[in-house]
């Protein structure tokens, strides 16, 4: 009896140790608290869903890490990463040279283009000349904002905190045209609310749009970056990535 | 939109619960900041009235500075720059980094600003105590601590309570500023609900109703408190 007790105790103790090593591997993912379907959106009951929350869950399962989400505003994600409030940002963060100066990126896990959206009835040529004097709406701290700021000096640019506000202002005519992520806004055009809006063409390729979308980690955190790379690659190799992708996107997004 | 649509949005989709959670957080921020503000205000008022010269200068700097700078700027400063600074300092001492969450940042920032305002209110209230009462207490040989607790605080509160209840109501609304850092208090929860469901009018009105509810309840609480604090004051018919 005494021996059984001892063995049980030992087993419990070992399990406890195993548990602590497991629990020590905690990762905090930063996520922007805004509806950004189909990439990330939150239900009224407080559950996150979308392509990226599912990717986070899958990646964490591969890395055997205990992951939590830390919600914040979009333009607070990189500051939060730098000030160690989060460890990873896997939230539609394009890999741009500008961002690579302050944070490190994993390999890209999807690619996307930028799309111009404007009033259906309005003839708009989305070139710097064609938009001279027009009002362009973009989300602040995005690749789209950087692109518009560089090439569209003759237009006036309005910066928004989330994409939903840009669409609302576009519908009510406060801005003439908006530039946003094609994968996000194209499905929104089918929404009856947006029936007065139409695509005005895909923006040309530009280094400012970055080289795909990757997960961001703190500069110099190479161990974590490599673990994420390995996890992302294994998800892609065994088809799990493809399964998640099919739930949210009709087309392949793993390459341009 | 029919009534059943509304009930589906609020109940089945769970947005009412999200808003209620937001309200609890708003109340938490406001209460924390109010208590911190009162403590700071009391210290500031005491220093301004009785402190040595250099401390009075410091207290004056504090109230002037924090009443001059927008709370929004302070929130951004503390949340982004402050977190960096604190972690750099901790790293210099070899300590692990800390996480500054929106809740703490909101309480600290709003509390510091509240301290500047409530300090002025409390100072004014103490100054309106008839001086003879304090002299009388001193004549009995009462010590400093007891003087504050038994004489100054009870006779100051009736003068301060109206100003403080005003401050509280302003504070509840200012707590909405923390939404800029994406902390999900009442306003953020409402924005989230409105943007996800595209029912802007409905949810912004609901958020307004929640704020109104807080105001309504806290006004009646303050009325009770006021009656209690003023129970020994002469009644003017």
Phi, psi of B93 (to 5 degrees): -95, 10
> Largest Cα–Cα distance in chain B?
72
Contact B171, B110 (CB under 8 A): yes
∠ CA A213-A200-B192, nearest 5°, is 55
d(CA A133, CA B9): 41
Question: Domain map of chain A by residue range?
Answer: 2-111+212-248, 114-209
**DSSP structural state of residue B235:** P
Give the gap in angstroms from C-alpha A6 to the nearest C-alpha of chain B.
37
At residue B86 the predicted structure's pLDDT band, cuts being 50, 70 and 90, is: confident
Using the Cβ of A218 and the Cβ atoms of chain B, whether some distance falls under 8 Å is answered with no
Average pLDDT score over residue span B7-16: 91
pLDDT in tens, B26-82: 999 999 999 999 999 999 999 999 889 999 999 999 999 998 999 899 888 877 788
Neighbours of A150 (CB within 10 A): 11
∠ CA B167-B173-B178, nearest 5°, is 115
Give the gap in angstroms from C-alpha A7 to the nearest C-alpha of chain B.
37
Using CA coordinates, name the residue in chain B closest to A192.
Answer: B198
Using the Cβ of B95 and the Cβ atoms of chain A, whether some distance falls under 8 Å is answered with no
Q: Which residues of A touch B80 (CB under 8 A)?
A: 76, 79, 83
Q: Which of A76, A84, A193 sits opposite B181 (nearest CB)?
A: A76
In angstroms, how far is the first alpha carbon of chain A from the final one? 67
A vs B, Cβ pairs < 8 A, gives 69
Using the Cβ of A43 and the Cβ atoms of chain B, whether some distance falls under 8 Å is answered with yes
Architecture of domain B3-229: Orthogonal Bundle (1.10)
| A residues 45..64 contacting B (CB < 8 A) | 45-46
- The DSSP annotation for A134-172 comes to -EEEEETTSHHHHHHHHH-TTSEEEEESSHHHHHHHHHT
Do the domains A114-209 and A2-111+212-248 match in fold?
yes
The answer, yes or no, to whether residue B117 has pLDDT greater than 90, is yes
d(CA A74, CA B47): 42
Q: Which of A33, A79, A193 sits opposite B80 (nearest CB)?
A: A79
Give the gap in angstroms from C-alpha A5 to the nearest C-alpha of chain B.
39
Q: Do B14 and A43 touch (CB under 8 A)?
A: yes
pLDDT of residue B87: 80
d(CA A235, CA A252): 15
Q: Do A84 and B195 touch (CB under 8 A)?
A: no
Using the Cβ of A169 and the Cβ atoms of chain B, whether some distance falls under 8 Å is answered with no
Q: Which of A34, A46, A83 sits opposite B195 (nearest CB)?
A: A34
Tokens of A244: 């998640």
CA-CA-CA-CA torsion for B186, B79, B37, B63, nearest 10 degrees?
A: -130
Give the gap in angstroms from C-alpha A88 to the nearest C-alpha of chain B.
14
At residue B234 the predicted structure's pLDDT band, cuts being 50, 70 and 90, is: confident
- For β-strands A114-119 and A197-202, DSSP reports them as antiparallel
Chain centre distance of CA A254: 14
Which class in CATH covers the domain with range A114-209? alpha beta
Per CATH, is A2-111+212-248 categorized as 3.40.190.10?
yes
Contact A209, A112 (CB under 8 A): no
pLDDT in tens, B173-216: 999 998 888 888 999 999 999 988 889 999 999 999 999 999 99
Using CA coordinates, name the residue in chain B closest to A45.
Answer: B14
Contact B215, B168 (CB under 8 A): no
- Least-confidence region, from A50-54, A221-225, B21-25, B79-83: B79-83
Q: Which residues of A touch B184 (CB under 8 A)?
A: 33, 71
- Least-confidence region, from A170-179, B28-37, B84-93, B144-153: B84-93
Q: Which residues of B touch A42 (CB under 8 A)?
A: 192, 196
At residue A16 the predicted structure's pLDDT band, cuts being 50, 70 and 90, is: very low
Average pLDDT score, chain A? 90
DSSP 3-state percent helix, strand, coil across chain B (nearest 5): 85, 0, 15
Return the higher-pLDDT residue of A209 and B104. Answer: A209
Give the residue from B14, B76, B79, B192 with the most A CB atoms within 10 Å of its CB, the best one to mutate: B192
Average pLDDT score over residue span A20-48: 84
3-state secondary structure of A118: strand
d(CA A79, CA A64): 26
d(CA A33, CA A42): 8
Tokens of B93: 């001492």
Return the higher-pLDDT residue of B125 and B78. Answer: B125
At residue A4 the predicted structure's pLDDT band, cuts being 50, 70 and 90, is: low
- What pTM does this model have? 0.82
Give the gap in angstroms from C-alpha A154 to the nearest C-alpha of chain B.
30
């Amino acid at each position: 009896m005494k021996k059984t007790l001892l063995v049980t105790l030992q087993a419990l103790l070992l399990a406890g140790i195993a548990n602590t090593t497991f629990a020590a591997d905690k990762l905090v993912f930063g996520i922007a608290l805004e509806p950004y379907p189909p990439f990330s959106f939150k239900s009224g009951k407080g559950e996150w869903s979308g392509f990226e929350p599912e990717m986070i869950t899958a990646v964490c399962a591969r890395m055997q890490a205990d992951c939590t989400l830390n919600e914040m505003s979009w333009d607070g994600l990189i500051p939060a990463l730098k000030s160690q409030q989060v460890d990873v940002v896997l939230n539609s963060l394009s890999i741009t040279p500008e961002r690579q100066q302050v944070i490190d990126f994993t390999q890209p896990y999807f690619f996307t283009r930028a799309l111009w959206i404007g009033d259906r009835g309005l003839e708009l040529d989305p070139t710097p000349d064609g938009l001279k004097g027009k009002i362009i709406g973009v989300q602040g701290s995005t690749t789209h904002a950087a692109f518009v700021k560089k090439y569209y000096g003759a237009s006036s640019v309005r910066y928004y905190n989330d994409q939903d506000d840009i669409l609302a202002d576009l519908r009510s005519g406060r801005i003439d045209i908006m530039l946003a992520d094609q994968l996000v806004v194209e499905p929104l055009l089918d929404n009856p609310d947006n029936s007065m809006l139409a695509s005005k063409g895909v923006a040309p390729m530009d280094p400012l749009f970055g080289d795909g979308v990757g997960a961001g980690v703190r500069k110099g955190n190479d161990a974590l970056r490599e673990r994420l790379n390995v996890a992302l690659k294994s998800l892609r190799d065994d088809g799990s990535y493809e399964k998640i992708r099919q739930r949210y996107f009709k087309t392949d997004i793993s390459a341009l | 939109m029919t009534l059943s649509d509304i009930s589906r949005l609020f109940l089945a989709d769970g947005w009412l619960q999200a808003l209620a959670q937001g309200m609890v957080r708003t109340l938490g921020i406001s209460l924390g900041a109010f208590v911190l503000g009162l403590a700071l205000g009391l210290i500031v008022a005491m220093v301004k009235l009785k402190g040595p010269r250099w401390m009075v200068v410091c207290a004056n700097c504090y109230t002037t500075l924090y009443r001059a700078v927008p709370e929004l700027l302070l929130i951004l400063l503390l949340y982004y720059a402050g977190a960096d600074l604190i972690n750099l300092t901790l790293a210099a001492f070899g300590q692990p980094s800390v996480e500054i969450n929106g809740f703490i940042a909101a309480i600290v920032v709003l509390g510091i600003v509240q301290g500047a305002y409530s300090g002025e209110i409390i100072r004014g209230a103490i100054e309106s105590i008839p001086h003879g009462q304090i002299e009388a207490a001193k004549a009995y040989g009462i010590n400093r601590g007891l003087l504050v607790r038994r004489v100054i605080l009870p006779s100051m509160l009736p003068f301060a309570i109206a100003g403080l209840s005003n401050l509280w109501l302003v504070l509840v609304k200012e707590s909405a500023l923390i939404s800029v850092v994406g902390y999900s208090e009442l306003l953020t929860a409402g924005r989230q609900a409105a943007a996800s469901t595209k029912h802007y009018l409905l949810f912004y009105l609901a958020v307004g109703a929640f704020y109104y509810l807080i105001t309504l309840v806290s006004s009646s609480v303050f009325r009770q408190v006021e009656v209690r604090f003023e129970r020994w004051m002469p009644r003017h018919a």
